[in-house]
Amino acid sequence: MPNYAIIIDLSLKKGEERTVDLGLFWPLGRIETTGDMTVEYQHLMVWEALDVPGDAEGITARYIKFTAKEPSHVIVYEGPGFVAEPEARWTEAFRRESGWMGGDGIFSFNLHGGIDAFNQHDAKTLFVFGDTLVGESDTSGTRRVRPLLMPNNSVAYLQGNGAEHLDIDFRLNTHPEGHVISFIEPDNPSMYDGTVPEHLIRDDHRGDIRHYVSGFDPKCLTLTFDLTYAQPVRKLSVVNYFDPQESDTEIMNRGIKHCTVSVSDSEAGPWQKVADVTLRKAENLQDYQDIEIDRTCRYIQLDIPPQNGLGNHYSAEDKKTRVFGLNQVCIYNDDRPLRDLKVTSSSVLSRERLTSWFWLQDGVVIDNRIYFLPLLVVPDASKPEGLQFDVRGISLIEAPIVDGEVDFRAHTQKDTPLYRYHEDTLWLFGAAILPNFAAAGAMAPDGYVYVYGYSTKGAHRALRVARVKPEAFHTIDRYEYYAEGEWVKDMLKASPLLEHISCEMSVTPIESGSLKGKVIAVFQYDVDSRYTAYSIGETPWGPFTKPRIVYACPEPDLLGGKAYTYNAKAHPHLSTPNTLLVSYNVNSYDMQQHFDNLDVYRPRFIRLKESGH
């Protein structure tokens, strides 16, 4: 049983007001008072009242203000929760003066069986980082000197969980010519723009209209849809070519007129004909036309005759260059649209390779393979310095673990539907992953992997969660989303669980103490504030308490300039049951500050210790 200590024992005179600085953020418990008085705690610089006498039930505070209306006495006990203290040993291990000199996005994985539980002394730890600084320091060891390189990801290995030593082996990937490159670079359909067929199945457009358009005068024209695995298909719902921004309505004749629809269990065939279909010209962007399928298959093919008047709506006598187009194809299993799709075409008018890179989100080890759900990012020069990027999608990376290390050269990747833009709200998943199955060492396994994401509208960000069986992790259409007490297939119905979270975070089962059996979400309050916070959840899908501030990061004050802190998260297999190892990132909106101060752009560590011990 926890032994909650008295943290304040105070007598006040009538009319006296006193503010107590606890030195740290403490979880508050029972508050016993005699006399008429008010008690307030400071939350993000705002004073909020507490009901006294009563129980604060773990609300955290550093500053507490007491105001006595008559002679009074108050006793405040610590409550259930966590207290933070700096972890200098881990922080110093990531301070380096040459080669790998800093990185953000730090996630950790136990490659030894994928066990994500506490106290893993025999772990083989993999760290993955996002944008990484590579170079040398000056002779004082306080500044970085030019040239300073920035590959978009790097890794490090540690034998064990850090309890005995922190001999971290930082790794950089190099091109055969010797220059530093990322371990994983985008190589999937989401990195292309133009009139590509992927526009037919994407639902992430931010108000812009994107079409599929064939090449000029194709000799043959087919569109092939891969459903990832064989499954029942009820219908296709198609929007023909339509461009509301084009004043010349003649261009709508690009739309498909006749096509043959076939299905197969193999991309090589044989193909079973379903129907010959005639499509009308679209009148708007919601002008859907249904094509009944009622088959179980993995592949669907549209075979379009490449002649004016047959394959499109131009006249057969029209001497215009033959071009064919579509706006959207939705494939339905019952009433649910399938989204984990791949589409190829025998002819494309424009395919433009975008400048892009990955930012690795969280991942999971399953059956000696590691999976990541990285953000695919493109540059956006219209934004302020330090924020000149835009997220375009989320990919799925799969790589084998060979002899205790990840073979990134053998990785595969694909685009996923875990990134969507809907009604001015951005939805994405992969910010945190909780492996709650037996092989991952889960304390109370239920056989699922929980994949956390968030929705963002303006400055408002809300946590959401999906779950999937580990053997189906790579099949996104098998994900289920928690929605008001049920698990559903529609991502956009996922319930908000917790607000003020960060873009990277963690959710971890609590293995001991008064909160045993619950989970703790760790994050940076509102992404890039100076406050690290946590929330306690009854289950992996909540309900969660309101955020509880646990630590005020000192770096914005210590480093000055435009330094900021962001994206806190826990590392369970590097932790002990009563002390949770947590990292957060330190960065600057001013690139010059990265040169001027070696302490910018490397992770910091703290430990969360359970109260009552």
Phi, psi at 466, each rounded to 5°: -120, 165
**Cα 605 from chain centroid?**
21
Residue 68: how many other CB atoms lie within 10 Å: 22
Q: Write down the pLDDT at residue 129.
A: 98
Q: In whole angstroms, what is the distance from residue 33 CA to residue 47 CA?
A: 19
Residues 153 and 18 in one domain: no
Q: Is residue 322 part of a domain?
A: yes
Q: Write down the pLDDT at residue 321.
A: 85
Q: Write down the pLDDT at residue 2.
A: 77
Residues 245 and 344 in one domain: yes
Domain limit, last residue, from 305, 326, 349: 349
Q: What is the 3-state secondary structure (H, E, C) of 522-583?
A: EEECCCCCCEEEEEEECCCCCCECCCEEEEECCHHHHHCCCEEEEEEEECHHHCECCEEEEE
The sign of the torsion formed by the CA atoms of 356, 357, 363, 368 equals positive
Please count the structural domains in the chain.
3
Domain limit, last residue, from 317, 349, 381: 349
Q: Is residue 541 part of a domain?
A: yes
Q: What's the CATH code of the domain at 316? A: 2.60.120.260
| DSSP state letter for 417 | S
Q: What is the pLDDT of residues 332-345, one digit of tens each?
A: 998 899 999 999 99
Q: What is the pLDDT of residues 23-66, one digit of tens each?
A: 999 999 999 999 999 999 999 999 999 999 999 999 999 999 99
Residues 366 and 485 in one domain: yes
User: What is the residue range of 345's domain?
Assistant: 196-349
Contact 253, 195 (CB under 8 A): no
The strand pair at 60-68 and 37-43 is best described as antiparallel
Residues 527 and 434 in one domain: yes
Phi, psi at 523, each rounded to 5°: -160, 170
Q: In whole angstroms, what is the distance from residue 498 CA to residue 545 CA?
A: 8
Q: What's the CATH code of the domain at 154? A: 2.115.10
Which tokens sit at 76?
């405040």
Q: Write down the pLDDT at residue 245.
A: 87
Residues 385 and 474 in one domain: yes
Domain limit, last residue, from 293, 324, 349: 349
Closest C-alpha among 513, 132, 533, 577 to residue 359? 132
Q: Is residue 1 part of a domain?
A: no
Q: Is residue 90 part of a domain?
A: no
Residues 342 and 477 in one domain: no
Q: What is the 3-state secondary structure (H, E, C) of 127-156?
A: EEECCEEEEEECCCCCCEEEEEECCCCEEE
Q: In whole angstroms, what is the distance from residue 224 CA to residue 446 CA?
A: 37
Q: Write down the pLDDT at residue 478.
A: 97
Residues 297 and 370 in one domain: no
Q: Is residue 85 part of a domain?
A: no
Residues 536 and 581 in one domain: yes
Residues 464 and 584 in one domain: yes
Q: Is residue 191 part of a domain?
A: no
Q: Is residue 564 part of a domain?
A: yes
Closest C-alpha among 163, 51, 66, 143 to residue 102? 143
Contact 223, 199 (CB under 8 A): no
Which tokens sit at 176?
């055969």
32 bridge partner residues: 75
Q: Is residue 284 part of a domain?
A: yes
Half-sphere CA count of 322, side-chain side, radius 13 A: 20
Residues 454 and 602 in one domain: yes
Residues 257 and 401 in one domain: no
Residues 372 and 302 in one domain: no
- pLDDT lower than 50: segments of the chain: none
pTM (predicted TM-score): 0.96
